[in-house]
Amino acid sequence: NSSESHNCAKSILTSDRLQVVVMLSEFFNETWEAANCANCLKNSSEGLSNSTVEFLDLFNKSLTCFEHNLQGQAINLLPDNYTEVCKNCNASYKMLNDLYNNLQRMNRQGGESGHSAHLCIDVEDAMNITRKLWSRTFNCSVPCSDTVPVIAVSSFILFLPIVFYLSSFLHSKQKKRILILPKRIQSNASLVNIQEKYS
């Protein structure tokens, strides 16, 4: 009976003391929400969004580039020379990183999925894996274009206390004072002569 279907479902779901089905349902719903899974899908949840497909495609290309340029060497913790990986995969890594940054910007404004939150966990995990490989495993570092201005400003700020104390020392330094002694009576004998003269 359709009118009793809701009550029937409720009684089946809550029939046991632990309510395992309800607990599992809540767990999966909370996991879905916490992982922002809806942000990888289109508005109508028909499939992956175009940006997610594009990102995963670039992610796979980057990993393939890493594998091809390792020249059969196994990735291990020993400090190896990965200059070929850094040089040949720089373009694909940069494209992936730029796309990720754009997706983050778009997602703050609503994005394709219509949800304004973090990116979905699949995209974030993929980018974390790639960045860890790029920076820690392969030790590839992209030189920062702001290095010269940062060094210049830092040097200027560090130099300011020296200028302050030097100028303070120079301006507070006083010239030696020349003491001019007042003319006084030189001796008691001359004082006696003066007194005798007036008496």
Instruction: Report pLDDT digits (tens) over 71-95.
Output: 655 555 455 678 888 889 999 999 9
- Owning domain of residue 30: 8-137
Question: What band does 188 get if pLDDT is binned at 50, 70 and 90?
Answer: low
Let me know if residue 46 belongs to a domain: yes
Question: What sign does the dihedral 34-37-40-45 (CA atoms) show?
Answer: negative
Q: Which of 6-20, 104-118, 152-166 has the lowest mean pLDDT?
A: 104-118
In contact, 130 and 63? CB cutoff 8 Å: yes
Round the average pLDDT of the chain to a whole number and report it. 79
Let me know if residue 156 belongs to a domain: no
Collapsing DSSP states into helix, strand and coil, what is residue 174?
coil
Query: How far, in Å, are 121, 165, 168, 171, 178 from residue 174 at the CA level?
Result: 70, 16, 12, 8, 12
For 83, other C-beta atoms within 10 Å of its C-beta total: 12
In contact, 125 and 131? CB cutoff 8 Å: no
The predicted model scores a pTM of: 0.59
pLDDT tens digits along 9-68: 677 777 777 778 888 889 999 999 999 888 888 886 788 989 999 999 999 999 999 999
Let me know if residue 99 belongs to a domain: yes
Question: What sign does the dihedral 33-38-44-45 (CA atoms) show?
Answer: negative
Let me know if residue 165 belongs to a domain: no
> For position 1, what pLDDT does the model report?
46
Q: In angstroms, how far is the first alpha carbon of the chain from the final one?
A: 148
Q: Which amino acid is at 46?
A: E
> Considering its fold, how many domains does the chain have in total?
1
Degrees to nearest 5, angle at CA 44 with 38 and 49: 60
Degrees to nearest 5, angle at CA 141 with 59 and 70: 55
Let me know if residue 54 belongs to a domain: yes
User: Within 13 Å, how many C-alpha atoms sit on residue 77's CB side?
Assistant: 0
> 168-185: b or e for each residue (b if 16 or more CB lie within 10 Å)?
eeeeeeeeeeeeeeeeee
Does 189 score more than 60 pLDDT?
no
Let me know if residue 117 belongs to a domain: yes
> For position 83, what pLDDT does the model report?
83
> For position 52, what pLDDT does the model report?
92
Let me know if residue 83 belongs to a domain: yes
Q: Dihedral (C-alpha) 102, 111, 36, 125: value to the nearest 10 degrees? A: -20
For 21, other C-beta atoms within 10 Å of its C-beta total: 13
19: left (phi over 0), alpha (psi -120 to 50) or beta: left
| Residue that has been written with the tokens 């920062």 in this structure | 144
Does 162 score more than 80 pLDDT?
yes
Residue with the larger pLDDT of the pair 148 and 195:
148
Let me know if residue 50 belongs to a domain: yes
